[in-house]
Amino acid sequence: MSKQIVSTPSAPAAIGPYSQAVRAGNTVYLSGQIALDPASGALVGGGFEAQVRRAFENLSAVASAAGGSLADCVKLTLFLTDLERFPVVNEIMQEFFAEPFPARSTVGISSLPRGALFEVEAVMVLG
């Protein structure tokens, strides 16, 4: 099976040796997105909620570049540096996803790249 690399300037450029997303057949694997501003590459200000929203916006931009949308996501993995903030993520997630919601795992971790507080990655199935 061939794979297609997905890239868009509407989301932050990869900050390492990886692709924003890879499509294999109808499945798209979206790399983790943190709250980097696509234009500047800097972490957005405004605290935790702003970071969560920006990360989901970045994920949405990559999903769109792959020919889909967040509605096509079947699996999310969330990474939080403070699991006490999990209820906030649940509230914001409902701004970006409608029922039926994708499957999801949440992982508490000690740190993320660039000092981010939140990261999200996804698997999307098209058509």
Contact 97, 70 (CB under 8 A): yes
Does residue 127 register a pLDDT over 90? no
Confidence band (pLDDT; 50, 70, 90) for 116?
Answer: very high
**Separate counts of helices (H) and strands (E) for the chain:** 2, 6
> What residue ranges define each of the domains in the chain, with the CATH number in brackets?
3-12+19-125 (3.30.1330.40)
* DSSP assignment letter at 18: S
Give the tokens for residue 17: 């040796």
**In angstroms, rounded to a whole number, what is the distance separating the alpha carbons of residues 49 and 88?**
7
Q: What is the pLDDT of residues 11-47, one digit of tens each?
A: 999 888 999 999 999 999 999 999 999 999 999 999 9
Confidence band (pLDDT; 50, 70, 90) for 54?
Answer: very high
